[in-house]
Structure 1
Amino acid sequence: MKRNVNAIWNGDGIDGNGLLTAQSGAFNKMPYSFKTRFENDNGDLGTNPEELIASALAGCFNMKLAFVLNEANLNPTELNTNATLTFIDGSVISIELILKGKVPNLNEEKF
């Protein structure tokens, strides 16, 4: 499977801005900029590429874990994963995943 996302950037790093579009249509021309790392033009928090990376990893992790549990004849009712991405000096240093789940008939020993 291949998925495509298009990222357009206009201008310099501080004052520039860009648009993100997903092949799936989940987002189309979603704006991002240096400012949206902290807040958008309305003063609200905005998204940023690092947040999107962390959310993609958490989402993929949950989905894969659900399939692995299904193969073991276990059916999760909820998998809740928090992803914390650490970004220092222009590089992703780490992404920590913390999972909380509800899986009937699964105890710590089995997990």
Structure 2
Amino acid sequence: MSIVKSGSAAYKPLGKEGKGSISTETGALSNQPYGFNTRFEDGKGTNPEELIGAAHASCFTMALSFALSDAGYDDGELNTTAKISLDKSDDGFEITKSALTLDAEVEGITEDEFEKIAQEAKENCPVSQLLNANITLEYKLNNS
């Protein structure tokens, strides 16, 4: 059985002069503006890379949270940022990297155990598996 979630986008007129909107089925985003100026300039609105960054950060953080809990660690806090790199190539543009930066506080865990669990979460979260990009992870572990 598949879990199916959806997002939608509209864009008109075509090309650089076009304007679009992005929405999610839950209403978390509702007609959020996007276009050339929000993707390649400093226009107000969102862009696909920002949304992929939020999706990757949230997916990885949840996967790590569940893995830590499964390993017996229930007291802590995780904060992750994903920086998505969009680079121009001979064929157009491509997403080449997602750089995860994690600030973690996990009560009682060793650095070695945390490293192992965090790397497994990075490799196995569904969004990491979806991305055809270099995925890196840097973290700071604060534990007692």
TM-score normalised over the length of structure 2: 0.69
Give the conservation status (yes or no) of the 8 Å contact 1:66–1:76: no
The one of 8, 12, 15 aligned to 2:14: 12
Matches within 5 A, 1:67-82: 67-82=66-81
What's the offset of the Cα at 1:50? 0.7
> Is the CA contact (8 Å cut-off) linking 1:20 and 1:28 kept in structure 2?
yes
Question: Could you give the per-residue CA deviations for residues 39-97 of structure 1, whole angstroms, max 9, x where no partner exists?
Answer: 23xxxx53211111011100110011101111011025211112111111211011111
Residue 109 of structure 2 is matched in structure 1 by 106
For residues 113 and 23 of structure 2, the distance between their equivalents in structure 1, rounded to whole angstroms, comes to 41
The code of the aligned residue for 1:104 comes to: E
Letter paired with 2:7: V
TM-score (norm: length of structure 1): 0.88
Tell me if 1:97 matches 2:109.
Answer: no
Structure with higher RCO (Cα < 8 A, 6+ apart)? 2
Kindly state the Cα deviation for residue 27 of structure 1 after the two structures are TM-superposed: 1.0
- Any gaps of 5 or more consecutive residues in structure 1? none
User: In the alignment, which residue of structure 2 is the partner of 1:28?
Assistant: 30
3-state SS in 2 of match to 1:73: coil
Runs of 4+ in 1 over 3 A off after TM superposition: none
Give distance in 1, aligned partners of 2:105 and 2:62. 14
The answer on whether the counterparts of 2:32 and 2:45 sit within 8 Å (CA) in structure 1 is no
Aligned residue-pair number = 107
* Percent identity for Structure 1 against Structure 2: 36
Paired residues of 2:57 and 2:80 also in contact (CA < 8 A): yes
Q: Deviations over 1:18-45 (max 9, x none)?
A: 11110111011111111112323xxxx5
Alignment of 1:30-45 (within 5 A): 30-37=32-39, 38-40=41-43, 45=44
